[in-house]
Structure formats: structure tokens, C-alpha cells
Chains A and B, each alone.
Chain A
Amino acid sequence: MKAAVVQLPGLNRDRDMIAALTKIGGKAPVTVWQTETEIPDSVDLIVIPGGFSYGDYLRCGAIAARMPVMQAIKAKAEAGVKVLGVCNGFQILLEAGLLPGALMRNASLKFVCKEIKLEVANAETDFTRAYSQGQILRCPVAHHDGNFFADAETLARIEGNGQVVFRYAEGTNPNGSLNDIAGVINEKGNVLGMMPHPENLIEAAHGGSDGRGLFASALEVIAA
């Protein structure tokens, strides 16, 4: 599997993401700058990492979603290439219309960085096969705008389709998200967006490795 990490001004967890993909996938991902209009055909996983693209000015992810590289990502997504957006990456995918719903300011109105519990609500996706259905993971969050919202109809649809992949569990919802939603996938099952940061919990130095399963699944390197 070959992964690509998208780089835009203001993204700041790109180095964390590159480190995680390298450590779990065994080779470094390629990087793609915002002005590039094509993504190499050899890439099977595109990752938009977290941060504050364009300072989160205007609206989180709004400016990034209109950069040239997003057209290339949309084309790849349509062609079935896996796309993962974490935190600001999730916000960008929403702004680009690749995922349903919206992310509002945290209910506390404050930035929040802490460890939460995450339930794997759908272990049948290309991103979660390494986990079991209903498994509870530890995972850090670090965001100001992670309060997932969707209108009733959309919510019913994504719940019905099993598009909710991760939920905050055990009363640890840090932001007021509807139905404790922490991550959603598109109908086709190849574009996942999530607020928590699995890339920051992959090794002993992080105090745990619950995040590895996501990358192992997406990179298809699940240990037997």
C-alpha cells in the first residue's frame, strides 16, 4: 500500500501522521502540496491530517476545501481510492462535500485536548477491520470545532447505513456531538473523517497503541 499525506499551510499534525504511517506501514508516505493537481496513480490511501489550515479563518476547512489539490482528491475518491481525514482533515472533507454533516464549535466553546474513549461502531470498514465491533479504544482529541451535527433526515440515513464508524463512549463526548458521533464514512465506504487523533496513540511512548488498528486496517498490514 502506498500512502500520501496532503500538506496545506497551517496544517500541523502532518508530521505526526507521516510518523504514524511510516512506523505502521513500514515506509514513508509521499507528500502532496496544496497546489498539486494530480495525485500519483500508485497511491491507495490519501490522508489529510489535522491542524489549522489557513488558520481556520473564515470557517474550519473552508479555504482548504477550495484549493487545487481537493479536485484531485475528489477524483480519486470517486475512483475508489481510500481517503482519511483526521480533525482538520475531517473538517476539510465536510467542507468539500465528500462527507455528510457539519462540525460546529465545541459545546464548551473551548479548545479541548484530552484522552477520551471511542467505541468502534462499525468494524466492517476498510479503516476498522483490525478492531472488533463495539470495541472500546482509548484515543486523544485536540480540537475547538468537533461538535458533529446533521439534520434529522441525514442523521437517520447515516445511522441506518452504518456510516457512523466511531462514537465517543462511556460519557466522554468532549464536544457535544449528536449521537456521540466521532467519525463518519461515506456511503461508498472509502472516505472516512474523524475528530480524534489515532496517530497520537500508536506506541509505548504514547502510553498505548490503540490507534494502530486504524492505520493497520487502512494500509492493509493487519498482523495475523
Chain B
Amino acid sequence: MTISNSRPITPELIAAHGLKPDEYERILSLIGREPTFTELGIFSAMWNEHCSYKSSKRWLRTLPTTGPRVIQGPGENAGVVDIDDGDCVVFKMESHNHPSYIEPYQGAATGVGGILRDVFTMGARPIAAMNALRFGAPDHPKTRHLVSGVVAGVGGYGNSFGVPTVGGEVEFDPRYNGNILVNAFAAGLARTDGIFYSKAEGVGLPVVYLGAKTGRDGVGGATMASAEFDESIEEKRPTVQVGDPFTEKCLLEACLELMQTGAVIAIQDMGAAGLTCSAVEMGAKGDLGIELNLDLVPVREERMTAYEMMLSESQERMLMVLRPEKEKEAEAIFHKWGLDFAIVGHTTDDLRFRVLHQGEEVANLPIKELGDEAPEYDRPWREPGKPAPLPASLVAEPNDYGLALLKLVGSPNQSSRRWVYEQYDTLIQGNSLQIPGGDAGVVRVEGHPTKALAFSSDVTPRYVEADPFEGGKQAVAECWRNITATGAEPLAATDNLNFGNPEKPDIMGQFVKAIEGIGAACRALDFPIVSGNVSLYNETNGLAILPTPTIAGVGLLPDWAAMARIGTANEGDQVVLIGGDGSHLGQSVYLRDVLGIVDGPAPVVDLADERRNGDFVRSAIRNGQISACHDISSGGLAVALAEMVMASGKGMSISLADCTGPAHALLFGEDQARYVVIVPADLANFVCASAEGAAVPFRRLGTVGGTGLVVDDLLALSIEQLRGAHESWFPAFMDGSSNAAAAAE
């Protein structure tokens, strides 16, 4: 395929590039002439939703992004947060939804690769990864294939690269049947005085291409990710990139080695829209022009056109501006690691983005305008309606509380994710203190005797669907709570906002209100958003996904010796509920998975309660007063207790006698700002008195001991019964040995 640069620009060609007629008019007025074919491709790459955030920018600006520990907020490859002693944590979450649906293994693998690159581009060595995955109904014909491919792809890339996967989410819902979500998070460690940015500085300096060669894979990927799906989806397979974790591992080592030499002035990884986006970003940020000569770009395919080279999304590539005197040293490092190193251009002072190919100037565009003058929309939006209240008195009790709890812990969404996380290397680097299966993943900070970082990724899409504002708040609060439940201080978060088509006012309304909720919670909890990504157009044949604003947060443990886990209860310890009694059954998994009803409002998050209760729990953990801790989320108190029993292998004897309200609401209500803490018997009075003093609601529920979970005369389940139900669903589903429809009935 050879496409001439002089191909005529027709309305069809413009539409095929995802550019609207008014956007094309804007291009004409910006450059004062008709663009060349390559230039049209460049505009399409820079101005699509994925790269320009044109529908979301206006709302993203409302989020809190600063704080005493924030070194770098949104706008760079990743956010940077101070963790004392000259150390900082660099992190971001990013979606790879559209490619993963088309080609699950490579889509997920390159999602992981892309986010790792964002982190080490800034000079940080990746130390932890997480993945928030959402799939369609278990009985949908594509689901098993997608789960199997995505999990293998995430593992295939992360394991080979060598980063521990310490957390994440896996959920099923029919609303993801046509659009799965793959949100990949990575965090790295750097020194605060050793962070690298994408802003180029200095005129006439070499622009260097590093890493893997450029091929035709992924041409037009970012534009594909900015459109809805329909039946033609199979034709989109060539827009998915192919990952090579081995090259990425080499690229990591080479980049970190090179950064040590002081040769790097600016660095930008080639992600979405590859060479185009990275070059424009480096130049525009530094108020410099960039001239690229494509004849010097290392390629792995013959007769690539300028258009293809500029839009290729081949993986494992970097662009740098280097100090010329260090060129030889830099080249030697890259050759040692078997990577390409080519000077492909230089910085200029004319603020133009010029691209040369085979003696021809194929593009000459104003560099600032390419980025800054991208269209920005204030899309019309409609205030979402609110479901009518659903008091617990209107919700049926289960016929059998024991069977109801077994059904929940063995349901597609609450069952153990062991089948998934045992395919991820959770231990590599030797610093993992908590692996998946608890509230948050925890890794210690290498080189420091006591510090550790906690990571959690959360969102409850059914809440966001019912009430985008409360759901947005809840995603932040649950992340904050999971981090708190380890004893860590939540520092900052990254958001990955997955929604449908923003051109529909209802979808835009979900987006606007969810951001409002996220912002309110982040402000109340001092939990700023330092990086993130927006994925819109997650729709197939007009049906949108559940609104899914994933929040991934990072917390700091000054001393991991004083960390809490969920499974470390001792015989005779006291079980204490922190927070109010369960009462809210609207949008609960009890309602959905036991009664088969989706109804009612989402639980309200009282941010003052959240903060007060969380601060109390954290300080009790740090003072060594807690032997185990777990947050209460989907499934309510009953599921939280069952998970603690399964994790510790020790039973609990629980009484709800002191609580008020119907038993099913006490056990399964999904009220927020709550934890179960396990307290040594001799400290129980003290901890409860402290709670009272801090105006934190609490209930003494019972004692650790026995061979199962016993709640009054409502239910008595052995540890084996609970584990049997909890551990069996996922493997049976993936083997095809259980009928998923029966399991989900």
C-alpha cells in the first residue's frame, strides 16, 4: 500500500479521519490552505477525543490537582507525588478498552506496556501495577474468550517486563457485552531531583528516536479509540498494536542508564499517535519547532509512507532531546541493550512542525496550534434522574441467610479472583507485602528500612449509573478507604474515566455529575487527582457501558511493621464495626444477585463521616491496636466478615443484638464509611472508648474463634463452605465446567 501525499482531500476522507466539517474548517483557517494527506492524518491524530480531550477538558479542569505533596499534576506522562526522604512515586492509569475488545491479548498487553512506559519515561523504575477489568455477562458468548485473552495479555506483558501486579478489579455486567474495559495502572519510584519531563529546551539540538522499529501496526489507533463500535469491528483489527515486553524491559534499563549520564534534556514516549503526538508535545511545551526527517526513522517494513510513519502506534519507542556532547555515550548504551538509536531531527526556533520524507516536505504546521488550538466542546448535557428511595422494609428478606451469603461470596462478581491474579507475577522485585486478595496491594520502598506504598483501584459502576454524583464520590471514597484499611495515608489518585458517547446529553450528564462527585470527594479527603485518562465512545450499536470512572490511589505507610491486613485475626480477638449500622439496600449486590432486582438509589457518601471514621481506623492501626482490618463495600457487613474468616482461617461468632434495623439490611446493606476491625480482647474497651471520644460510631459485634462464621441464629457457615463457594466460581466458569447462566441465576 502506497498512498501519495498529494491524495486529494475529499469530504469522505475527512469524515474517515473522524474530523467533523466544522473541525476541518478550523484546520483551513489555522493553516490558510488545504492540508496535505499527511497533515490531515496529523490533525486527525492530535484532535481526536483520545488525544485532545476535547469533550472532557472543560470538566477535568474542575478537579483538584494540587496539594502539599504533589510535585507534578496532570499534563505530563504521569503524576508525581512526594513520599519524603527525597523519594517520589510516579503513577498513572490509562485505558486500552477498544483495542482489547478487538484483540484481547495484544490489546491488554500493550495497555500494560503503554502505562509502564509513561512511568519510566519520567525517570521512575516501575514497582507496582494494577488492572481494573470489566467484562460482559458471564454467559455472553464472547466473555470467556475475552477474559482469557485479556488476563493472559496483562500477565504476558507485566510478568516478562518484571513488575509485580499487586491489585485490581474484575467485574462482569451485561452492559459491557459490546465494550469491555481494560484500565491499566502503573507506579514507579524515582528521586525527586531525578524526574524527567517532555518539555524540550534549546534550539538546534538533536531529536533522537530510541527503542523498537516503526511498523504499520496501530496506524489510526487513537482515531479508532474515539469512535463507537458497530458490526464492522473485525475490520479494525489492524489498528491494534503488537507488544514486545522484552524490548520494553531493555528500553527501561537503557533509559534509566542514560538518564544517569545527564544526557537527557526532554523525553516523551510514543503512545497514542506515536511520532506525531510525541514530537508535537515536546516542541509545543518548550515553545520550539521540530523538524523531523522520516528517512532516518528506523523501520521494519518496506515502503512506508510518511502518513503511516507519522500515525504508526508501534510499541516500545521513545523520542528524546539530547545534549549533543553526550550523543556517543547515549548511542553506546542503546546499542548495548540491542535497541535502535537514530537522530531523526532537531529543534528549531520557528514554532513549526516540519516533516521531511524522501526530499519532500510532507507537513509544515504551526506546532502550538496543533495541540493548544484543538477544538474544545461544551457539550450539552442533561441532569440525570434519581431513582425513588427504596427503604429496606420494602426489600424481601432471604429465605435462608446462610444460602444468601454463600450465593454472594460465590457469585460472578464477589467470588475469589485467584484464577486471575495467580497468572500475574505478584512477587517479583521481592518487595510485595500484600498481594491481591486484601484491601490494597502494598509494596515496600526499596532502599528504605520502613516505608511502604499501598495501591487500590475502585469504582462501583452500578452506583454511578443510578446516581453519577454519589457514584463518583463513592469511587474516590472506596479507594481512599481501601488504602486507609492497611494503615496507609492516602496521598493522591489517578482517574480513568470510561463513558459512552459524549455527544448524547444523557451520557454527557453522567460524565459531568460523576466528575463533580469525584472532585467533591477528592477535596474533602485531600486526595488530589495527579494524572488520568478519559475513554469515551464506549458504545456498541448505540448501547453504552455502565459509567465507570475508575479511581486508582496511592498511600504511604511510614512503617510497614504497623500495617493491617484482612486475614490476621487471632483467637479471642473482638470484632468491632466502625461506622453506622447497615441500612441501605438500593443498588446492593444482595438486591441484584440474591433477589434479581436492580433498583433504588446508590448509597450516599457522607464525606465528613468518611474522613472521620477513616482517620480513626488509620490511627488505631498505626498505634498497634488492630490485629486485622477490612473495609465494608459490595455485599455489606456479611461479605466483609466472610472474607475475613476465609482469609484468616478463623471463625467468628457475631451478634447483631445491639444493632438497629432489619437483619438483611444490617448484614447486606452497602452504607459507606465503614470498616470491620479486629481488636485484641484486652484493647477492645480502649479502642471503643477512643471511638466514642472521636465521635466515631461503632458496634461490638462478637469474637474471633470457632470453625466458621456464625451470626446469631441467622446463619452458620463453616470456613470450608465459604471457601468452597468463594473459590470455585471462577475456575469452573473458565473451564466451562459450570454453566455460567446457572451460576448467575
Residues of chain A touching chain B, judged by Cβ–Cβ distance below 8 Å, are: 9-10, 12-13, 15-16, 19-20, 51-52, 54-57, 110-114, 140, 142, 144, 197, 199-200, 205-206
- Residues of B234-283 at the interface with A, using a CB-CB cut-off of 8 Å, are 244-247, 249-250, 253
**Inter-subunit contact B160/A10 (CB<8 Å):** yes
- 18 A-B residue contacts at CB 8 Å? A12-B162, A15-B429, A20-B430, A52-B249, A54-B246, A55-B160, A55-B244, A55-B245, A55-B246, A110-B152, A111-B155, A111-B159, A113-B422, A113-B423, A114-B422, A140-B427, A142-B425, A142-B428
CB < 8 Å neighbour of A9 from B338, B427, B430: B338
Residues of chain B touching chain A, judged by Cβ–Cβ distance below 8 Å, are: 152, 155-156, 159-162, 244-247, 249-250, 253, 337-338, 421-431, 433, 444, 560
Q: CA of A206 to CA of B432 in the docked complex: distance in angstroms?
A: 7
Q: CA of A14 to CA of B246 in the docked complex: distance in angstroms?
A: 15
**Inter-subunit contact A205/B427 (CB<8 Å):** no
Given A12-B161, A113-B425, 15 further pairs, Cβ under 8 A: A9-B338, A51-B162, A52-B160, A55-B245, A55-B247, A56-B160, A111-B152, A111-B424, A113-B422, A142-B159, A142-B425, A144-B159, A199-B430, A205-B433, A205-B444
Q: A56-B160, A111-B159 are in contact. Are A12 and B249 (CB under 8 A)?
A: yes
CB contacts (< 8 Å) of B430 on chain A: these are: 15-16, 19-20, 199-200, 206
**Inter-subunit contact B427/A197 (CB<8 Å):** yes
Q: CA of A146 to CA of B60 in the docked complex: distance in angstroms?
A: 47
CB contacts (< 8 Å) of B444 on chain A: these are: 205
Q: CA of A20 to CA of B245 in the docked complex: distance in angstroms?
A: 25
Distance to closest chain B CB from A61 (angstroms): 13
Distance to closest chain A CB from B668 (angstroms): 31
**Inter-subunit contact A10/B152 (CB<8 Å):** no
CB < 8 Å neighbour of B431 from A9, A114, A205: A205
CB contacts (< 8 Å) of B433 on chain A: these are: 205
Q: Which A-chain residue is minimally distant from B159 (CB atoms)?
A: A111
Q: CA of A206 to CA of B427 in the docked complex: distance in angstroms?
A: 9
Distance to closest chain B CB from A163 (angstroms): 28
CB contacts (< 8 Å) of A52 on chain B: these are: 159-160, 162, 245-246, 249
Q: CA of A114 to CA of B727 in the docked complex: distance in angstroms?
A: 15
Q: CA of A16 to CA of B560 in the docked complex: distance in angstroms?
A: 19
Q: Which A-chain residue is minimally distant from B156 (CB atoms)?
A: A111
Q: CA of A156 to CA of B425 in the docked complex: distance in angstroms?
A: 33
Q: CA of A186 to CA of B431 in the docked complex: distance in angstroms?
A: 32
Q: Which B-chain residue is minimally distant from A203 (CB atoms)?
A: B430
CB contacts (< 8 Å) of A144 on chain B: these are: 159
Distance to closest chain A CB from B245 (angstroms): 7
> B247, B337, B422, B560 — which one has the most chain A CB atoms within 10 A of its CB?
B422
CB contacts (< 8 Å) of B159 on chain A: these are: 52, 111, 113, 142, 144
Distance to closest chain B CB from A145 (angstroms): 12
CB < 8 Å neighbour of A112 from B162, B253, B423, B429: B423
CB contacts (< 8 Å) of A15 on chain B: these are: 429-430
Q: CA of A110 to CA of B433 in the docked complex: distance in angstroms?
A: 24
Q: CA of A111 to CA of B109 in the docked complex: distance in angstroms?
A: 14
Distance to closest chain A CB from B474 (angstroms): 31
**Inter-subunit contact B246/A57 (CB<8 Å):** yes
Distance to closest chain A CB from B212 (angstroms): 12
